[in-house]
């Protein structure tokens, strides 16, 4: 079958695109989407809407289907596809999506209601370069706790942007730890 994606972000041709399942991500970005404007380079693609994951440029050969996206820490979700160029900070991207999930939480279960708030606050510390090594450990543990113990799909998938950016862009989190220097 086919899938409709809402292609947006740092891409020349935005809009709704319908492609056959199994279409390669790089084909969608460069052939259909026209590539990245202003001579910048691709950094990542966030798929699946606010609860999706961020896929780094080295995985552009990925075929777009449910299983392939799941293997790299993302989801098909609502078909959202945000192209992110090299000028973006991935911790800020994760924080943006976590803030959305926090605001959408119904508040029924504590893991989602409190967990998304605490995750947002932790991400703020990394952005301000005020985080500690303990905060980094706590961030990962809290993501797993919210994912494993929330009652609905929103809470269970809210940590996906954080977990995928930690997996593929860990250096940007480490740069937010006080006293850490990056080579």
- Judge contact between 51 and 143, C-beta under 8 A: no
Residues 20-44 have pLDDT tens digits of: 999 999 999 999 999 999 999 999 9
The pLDDT score that the predictor gives to residue 68 is: 96
Confidence of residue 179 (pLDDT cuts 50, 70, 90): confident
Terminal CA-to-CA distance of the chain, rounded, Å?
46
Structure tokens, 134: 């303990």
Integer-rounded Cα Rg, in Å, for the chain is 16
The pLDDT score that the predictor gives to residue 181 is: 58
d(CA 150, CA 111): 5
pTM equals 0.92
Q: Return the sign of the alpha-carbon dihedral for residues 73, 28, 78, 47.
A: positive
Residues 84-118 have pLDDT tens digits of: 999 999 999 999 999 999 999 999 999 999 999 99
SS3 content of the chain, % helix, strand, coil (to 5): 50, 20, 30
Residues 125-173 have pLDDT tens digits of: 999 999 999 999 999 999 999 999 999 999 999 999 999 999 999 999 9
Residue 124, pLDDT above cutoff 80: yes
- Judge contact between 101 and 113, C-beta under 8 A: no
């Amino acid at each position: 079958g086919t899938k409709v994606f809402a292609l947006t972000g740092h891409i020349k041709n935005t809009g709704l695109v319908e492609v056959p399942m199994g279409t390669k991500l790089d084909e969608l970005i460069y052939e259909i989407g026209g590539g990245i404007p202003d001579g910048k380079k691709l950094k990542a693609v966030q798929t699946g809407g606010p609860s999706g994951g961020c896929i780094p440029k080295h995985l552009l050969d990925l075929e777009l289907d449910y299983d392939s996206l799941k293997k790299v820490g993302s989801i098909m979700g609502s078909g959202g596809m945000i192209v992110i160029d090299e000028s973006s900070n991935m911790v800020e991207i994760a924080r943006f999506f976590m803030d959305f999930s926090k605001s959408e939480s119904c508040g029924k279960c504590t893991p989602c209601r409190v967990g998304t708030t605490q995750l947002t606050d932790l991400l703020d510390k990394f952005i301000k370069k005020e985080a500690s090594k303990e905060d980094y450990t706590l961030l990962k543990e809290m993501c797993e706790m919210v994912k494993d113990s929330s009652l609905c799909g929103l809470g269970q998938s809210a940590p996906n942007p954080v977990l995928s950016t930690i997996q593929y862009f860990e250096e940007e989190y480490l740069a937010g730890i006080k006293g850490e220097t990056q080579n």
